[in-house]
Amino acid sequence: MKLRKIHCLGGSLLALSFVSSSAVALAPEVSLSAQAGYRSDALDWQSSSASQLWNSSWGDLNIYHARLGVDIRFDRIHLRGMFGYGTITDGWSVDDSNRSGSNASIIGDTTGDVLDTDLAIGYRFHVRSVEHRHTYLMPTIGYSYHEQNLKDDNGYNRISGTGISGLDRSYSAEWDGLWFGLNLWETDQSQDFTIAAELAYYLSDFYAAGDLKGDPNEADYEHPVSFEQGIGDTTGIRFSLYGNYALSQSVDLVFGFDYQTWEARNGTHRNQLSDGTTADLTLDAVNWESASMNVGLAYFFY
């Protein structure tokens, strides 16, 4: 049995997009953007039972990523979407446990990829104007999906001091749910420049699956799914700082910085055993931290 929750948020977001005919009477302003940059992630989880303790962590995950975005504005109504993909070029992993009846500590090299999608709708309020400068505030609600796919190899047993030939572990994590945000930005029309900040709070679900292929303690576990994890109550916070500089009437230089931290508590960790049975542990905690920088271009259709 899979431990993930099934969502049906598309209808909710579609309902949010219906506004009065007077608000959308004007032709929309549409912009498309493409950005690329660098991102660094860290992820860890801890599971336990009366007789077992299992901790896994990944750090210094160097990620080169790209994202595509669309922004549609009907006067005060803003709709936006984003799709991002990144490649993990290197990082490290540590897996500590006593699941085989004795203590084990295995380190490895990590590669893989990440995927992010985001849909949101907001309503813009004009706060003030001073000469050529205009300040706006926009509450936002959205839906996001984030995925990390991690692969570990080049293993080393820190307790025995020996290398592990054939380590090919994998771990895939998914975070998805609603978020609520507040966006504040200022435009200087005399300088063709916009600077903005956004704070977002996430209410999400978490699901993950791992494969212990090549692990010295894998004999009792199924493949390709050796264990699953699920938590229905997950929270996250993101802070974003970004800006636009007009290069021409239709093209902007765009740049940004994002920092986010997520946590999940008190879930289920289900081991899938080779004899067809399962064994449950408590998934005590999952933590994810990410920081990214990106730069690109946006094209405006008027």
Alpha carbon distances (Å) from 146 to 7, 14, 85, 203, 300: 14, 20, 10, 13, 27
Predicted pLDDT of residue 158: 85
Q: Phi/psi class of residue 161: alpha, beta or left (left: φ > 0; alpha: ψ in -120 to 50)? A: left
pLDDT digits (tens, 9 = 90+) for 253-265: 999 999 999 999 9
Residue identified by tokens 């004999």 is 219
The mean predicted confidence, pLDDT, of the chain is 89
123-160: pLDDT as tens digits: 999 999 888 889 999 999 999 999 999 999 998 888 87
Close Cβ partners of 59 (under 8 Å, ≥ 6 residues apart) = 42, 91, 92
| Sequence spans of domains, the chain | 36-301
Is 229:243 a contact under the CB 8 Å cutoff?
Answer: no
Report pLDDT digits (tens) over 80-130: 999 999 999 999 999 998 876 667 889 999 999 999 999 999 999 999 988
**Which residues, other chains included, contact 208 with Cβ-Cβ below 8 Å and sequence gap of 6+?**
45, 171, 172, 173, 174, 228, 229, 230, 286
Instruction: Say which CATH superfamily domain 36-301 falls into.
Output: OMPT-like (2.40.128.90)
Residue type, 256: G
Q: Look up the pTM and report it.
A: 0.88
